[in-house]
């Protein structure tokens, strides 16, 4: 059992007010839950107040952002490894065959452009998720 802080109780009251304003709670339910929120000692008691109400977007969004970030990193790293291995092998094959015209450039250049695009998009995605995570970090009280 994790003890609830004053800030968490205040956040619960604000969220209850939003649900009341949205018409999900009638006046009697809102007053009863608000009284329970002010007396809550644990986070579990606060979570119980929201069990039958729709989830807030923040916590779920942060979880999705974290999972998407992990997937993006794994795909990016696989892309980098494949680029290095294939093009390294082509350069090695070029060197073993007596050099001449540098034909591996026909793989290195277009794939490099694709890889650079992937890295740029990946960085933009990380920034977007970092901003979303920062704005939703405070809303992680409710599952």
Residue 78, pLDDT > 60, answer yes
Closest CA to 51 of 76, 15, 90, 77: 15
Residue 17, pLDDT > 70, answer yes
Domain map (residue ranges) of the chain: 6-48, 57-139
Is the Cα torsion angle 105, 108, 110, 112 positive or negative in sign?
A: negative
Percent of the chain as helix, strand, coil, to the nearest 5: 75, 0, 20
Structure-model confidence comparison of residues 135 and 54, the more confident one: 54
pLDDT of 104-132, one tens digit each?
999 999 999 999 998 898 888 778 776 55
């Amino acid at each position: 059992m994790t003890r609830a802080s004053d800030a968490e109780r205040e956040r619960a009251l604000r969220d209850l007010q939003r649900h009341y304003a949205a018409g999900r709670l009638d006046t009697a339910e809102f007053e009863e839950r608000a009284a329970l929120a002010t007396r809550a000692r644990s986070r579990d008691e606060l979570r119980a107040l929201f069990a039958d109400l729709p989830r807030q977007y923040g916590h779920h969004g942060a979880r999705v952002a974290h999972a998407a970030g992990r997937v993006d990193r794994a795909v990016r790293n696989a892309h980098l490894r494949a680029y290095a291995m294939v093009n390294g092998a082509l350069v090695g094959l070029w060197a073993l065959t007596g050099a001449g015209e540098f034909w591996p450039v026909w793989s290195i250049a277009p794939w490099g452009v694709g890889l650079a695009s992937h890295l740029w998009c990946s960085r933009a995605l990380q920034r977007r998720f970092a901003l979303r995570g920062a704005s939703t970090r405070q809303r992680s009280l409710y599952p």
